[in-house]
A and B are shown apart, each in its own frame.
Chain A
């Protein structure tokens, strides 16, 4: 039986409501995992300086001596009120961290997607079109290697290579210190702030800094895209409409570009949306490698400092992003393909 027109809103509503238990489970796991892990922010920061009594006093001052259930309930209540609290180790509002550092992660992610598309789409198309040739084999190997190679290793190799060829090329951070000092903060997205400021020199500096990190993370993502595009192009090339196009005498390269490739892109776009989780995990490693001032760098530092509040807040934020993107992708799928609504 065909779906009724009212089933889409219901599907979206159910999908959105499911976010609540998903988030609750995630928050609970994060909370208890952090507490199960040995250590606390106090011993991480000053454990080599103070005696047991002084450490206990400091733990008490932070409320870490209260029963776990009390801490858990308070945490859930605060999150429900969108209060992510202040970090323990350096007393920053978690929302400020997301606001201040989120822009750097966003530009890195978008830049990486751009690189992934610029690399992945043409190579995937070429591999699909030239199936089982040496070019296909080479591209497939590139795809597997770029996906499997550790990000930090790829990053370091790129740094070594670029420093050899362009000795003055920036190898870390989102911009030079002077650029970061002179560009007035408006949106907390440095690239955008430089554009709004009409500062060409700063914009150039920022873009130069983006090259290596975006390339590193983009190459990781390109492996997935290459494989997907290749498979879909191969499938599309077998389609009746492609045969029909060929029968009409259209040149092969036009057949591939206008018919097979465009149709092959539809499932790719869906999957790219779902790659957001992979991108975020890759961004953490990329940020670490390039001293990129994004949320990934912050997360690792707060994990090292055993800062429960900061880690909870940042992981929650990452989770919300992933969940929301998956919801949006599901909704797009449901719009495109009514069968999904069941």
Chain B
């Protein structure tokens, strides 16, 4: 064969392959069956979230929990854009008193393998979650029904009673008005006691639940395929027979994929720059919903520079949240004036009430009254990648605002997340950036973890008044009284300033024009409800 013929053969082979791929490689083709009443076309979700474990006992992260919300049922659920728990596997769960909850299951529930779902499965699910106590798991959220033994964790004796197949009674070891909301989280997912081992996690690709979808395929780090569950009988029937979840290691190819139509929806996490670029491009819809992501600045109260309350109050008086939202995040976040985000019962913009607009003169007065010598030298810490690439912009913006006041002499310092966590506890920073996603939608989830005895970030803050109020609101059955107590807690934070709220995130997705229902699921729970979404054509 001559060289020219070889070349022609090569080109021909290439053309043949290209035409073959055009015939069947498209992303929107058909896959498997299943699906009962679901009629919508298959669609593809692209995400940078990853999966730690499909088994509910082995994960405490957004990527895993979202798969579990679609595969498993919980006793209760938070409806899209709602805040009060409603029945899911349970018809109802109600407090008999602050330490007792009784749940009645829907009759006739089945897992996707056909096994009946009974109260025994519910008890088993909680028990194994606590006993496995997986290092990556979220059994810590079940403290109110645990035996409290670190070495042999288990369900406390009598914590769950199952008088019949459809009744579950929880006896909490302390008054806990948030436990009903814990029942809505993926950690409370109900598993089949005949399938899931009691003492270890089930393999990811073998999980089965009673939710609207069943898992058909899982390739770790690559993709998961969900198909509508024919045995599902709840309120969340799937609109699409099949959903592909494509995992991305980096936002750049995700942006390219959604822009070119290779994925139908991109959800978590594109940068503000990417989102603005996609929005201005007009090829896809950038859909925004209310979020509950929260970013804040913590004072290390053990450090001399910020021990004085007046110094912390002066920082709170100067911070310009609008400028941070605009300059550091291109307007894609909302300024936060409380450590509890808007929309939560009892939320109160205490920082706005106390400090009003940014005011350098007022800050100067605060420092002078307290006899604080200016400029106050501060080290401001942040971590450059863990909270996204814009964290450095936020740190520089805040440092710039403080320095421009002439009252502070701020230098910034950064470290990667691993080291950062150690350094902040060691007092390397006077003021440092932290972020938070809620475990469940209750104001307490933004208060107890931050305020009780220095919080998980160990910043040295302690207030008996705060601890007492936290205990009270957790046990308070009267809603109005509880909201008043939550408001008091936020006022104390604005007065003591152990930390300063910075901004609340939005829940954003990018979708092709053929998608429907994406906006309906974008709410502060960050539950991506696949069952609500469909694709035309």
Contacts and interface: CB of A to CB of B under 8 A. Distances in A.
Contacts of B27: 176-178
A44 interface: yes
B424 to A, nearest CB: 10
A172 B256 contact: yes
A91 B205 CA distance: 13
Interface in B324-368: none
Given A48-B434, A91-B53, A172-B256, A204 B25 contact: yes
Contacts of B201: 91
Contacts of A90: 50-53, 136, 204, 220
A156 B252 contact: yes
Majority secondary structure of chain A interface residues (helix, strand, loop or mixed): helix
Could you say which interface size class chain A belongs to?
A: 35 or more
B141 to A, nearest CB: 10
Given A48-B435, A177-B223, A201 B418 contact: no
B226 to A, nearest CB: 11
A181 B217 contact: yes
Interface residues of B, number: 70
Contacts of A208: 17-18, 21, 25
A203 B253 contact: no
A313 to B, nearest CB: 14
Nearest to A40: B418
A294 B288 CA distance: 33
Interface stretch (B67-75, B242-250, B301-309): B242-250
A52 B421 CA distance: 10
A57 interface: yes
Interface string B418-439: 1101100100000000111001
A159 B225 CA distance: 27
Given A90-B220, A91-B201, A201-B23, A39 B417 contact: yes
B260 interface: yes
A293 interface: yes
B22 interface: yes
Contacts of A207: 17, 21
Nearest to A203: B20
A263 interface: no
A159 B17 contact: no
B17 A91 contact: no
B225 A181 contact: yes
Nearest to B435: A48
Given A46-B60, A201-B23, A39 B418 contact: yes
Given A40-B418, A43-B418, A182-B31, A301 B221 contact: yes
Interface of A: 37-40, 42-52, 54, 57-59, 61-62, 88-92, 97, 100-101, 156, 159, 163, 167-168, 170-173, 175-182, 199-208, 288-291, 293, 297-298, 300-301, 306
Given A44-B418, A167-B260, A176-B25, 18 more contacts: A38-B419, A45-B61, A46-B61, A46-B136, A49-B60, A97-B220, A100-B220, A156-B252, A171-B260, A175-B25, A181-B225, A203-B17, A203-B20, A205-B20, A289-B252, A291-B249, A301-B249, A306-B418
Interface of B: 16-32, 42, 44, 50-53, 58, 60-61, 133, 135-136, 140, 150, 201, 204, 216-217, 219-223, 225, 244, 246, 248-250, 252-254, 256-257, 260-262, 386, 416-419, 421-422, 425, 434-436, 439, 449, 455-456, 458
What 9 A-B pairs are tightest by C-beta distance, nearest first?
A39-B418, A201-B24, A205-B25, A204-B21, A204-B20, A38-B419, A177-B244, A58-B135, A172-B253
